[in-house]
């Protein structure tokens, strides 16, 4: 599918920006230290980086929230941080981006997930991570559920952004999916392999081809193996749709009505695939919330991803950028 009907596109874009979308998952802080190298350390055979600038960005579920905001919908971010400097920096960055922090729970027993990258002459020299990956406590899960219940009636969709850092537990997933199903709320999942079979009966799940292959126990190497993996996962998960992202091969959508639709890649250039999955799930759920079909949501997500990978770093695609990109593909 490489075209969208004019009436459908107009309806989706006119409705984008009027919905509350909850993002539940692993919130991260991305730190960047920019510098130059002019010498090697006398202490060890490593470069000495002279830092001239430090910047911070939202990562993980925070980047999904930025994508939702860029599409002009309202992100309701829910996650866990530590009672530490990283947590303070993260809340400051959220406030700067005008994303509410009332759904961010501070847990003094945990570290704020922080990835620090040192970059010299535009090349990453090293990355240092601070994180806790054990599951959050029962008390913290209860606080999250209380907040979800408080917000549930105003939501159009929920995105589960699972990076395997401990926030998304089996019990929490079960409760949140049940609540959303009762209220007929869209549930989109950007999955982690280790939790894959817990994402049952959601609206859409968007694994890349490596994740799908790993979970199905079969490598995707051609169209036949792709279909075997896709239909198996759709059946096992009892989900309404499954969108497998395939890099340069584009995307493939499997739906419970037994239809499969392929979307050729729209990337004109690829600088960085960082955060592309965040763009896909955000665009898909926002499009569904605005009345798109699964095929139309996939079409829009494919174009959004094509824009995102053409930028350096985790990029967010705005509603206007997406509109300008797809208007040449309207029939």
Phi, psi for residue 108 in degrees, rounded to 5: -70, -15
Q: Is position 278 annotated as part of the catalytic site?
A: yes
Closest CA to 285 of 135, 47, 31, 75: 75
Two structure tokens written together for 28: 């991260």
Active-site choice (26, 30, 73, 278): 278
- Strand pairing class (155-161; 20-25): parallel
Closest CA to 268 of 294, 221, 302, 297: 302
Please tell me the chain's helix, strand, coil percentages from 3-state DSSP, rounded to the nearest 5.
40, 30, 30
Burial of 221 (0-12, 13-18, 19+ CB in 10 A): exposed
Residues in the chain: 331
State CA 246 to chain mean position distance: 16
Q: What distance in Å separates the CA atoms of residue 200 and residue 198, rounded to the nearest whole number?
A: 6
Q: At what angle do helices 170-182 and 138-151 cross, to 10 degrees?
A: 10
The sign of the torsion formed by the CA atoms of 222, 226, 227, 228 equals positive
The set of catalytic residues is 278
């Amino acid at each position: 599918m490489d075209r969208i009907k004019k009436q459908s596109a107009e309806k989706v874009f006119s409705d984008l920006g009027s919905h509350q979308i909850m993002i539940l998952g692993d919130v991260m802080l991305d730190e960047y230290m920019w510098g130059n190298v002019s010498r090697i350390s006398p202490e060890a055979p490593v470069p000495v980086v002279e830092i001239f600038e430090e910047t911070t960005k939202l990562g993980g579920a925070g980047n999904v929230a930025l994508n939702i905001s860029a599409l002009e919908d309202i992100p309701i971010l829910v996650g866990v941080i530590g009672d530490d400097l990283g947590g303070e920096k993260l809340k400051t960055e959220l406030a700067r981006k005008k994303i509410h922090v009332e759904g961010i729970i501070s847990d003094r027993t945990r570290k704020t997930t922080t990835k620090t990258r040192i970059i010299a002459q535009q090349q990453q020299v090293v990355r240092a991570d601070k994180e806790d990956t054990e599951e959050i406590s029962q008390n913290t899960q209860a606080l999250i559920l209380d907040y979800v219940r408080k917000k549930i009636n105003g939501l159009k969709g929920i995105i589960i952004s699972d990076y395997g850092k401990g926030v998304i537990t089996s019990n929490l997933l079960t409760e949140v999916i049940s609540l959303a199903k009762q209220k007929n709320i869209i549930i989109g999942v950007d999955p982690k392999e280790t939790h894959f079979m817990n994402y049952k009966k959601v609206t859409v799940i968007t694994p890349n081809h490596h994740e799908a292959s790993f979970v199905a126990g079969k490598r995707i190497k051609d169209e036949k193996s792709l279909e075997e993996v896709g239909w198996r996962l759709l059946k096992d998960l009892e989900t309404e749709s499954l969108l497998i992202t395939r890099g340069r091969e584009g995307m493939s959508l499997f739906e419970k009505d037994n239809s499969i639709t392929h979307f050729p890649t729209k990337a004109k250039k690829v600088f960085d695939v960082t955060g592309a999955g965040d763009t896909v799930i955000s665009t898909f759920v926002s499009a569904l919330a605005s009345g798109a079909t699964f095929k139309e949501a996939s079409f829009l997500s494919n174009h959004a991803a094509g824009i995102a990978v053409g930028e350096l770093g985790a990029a967010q695609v705005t509603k206007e950028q997406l509109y300008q990109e797809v208007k040449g593909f309207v029939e």
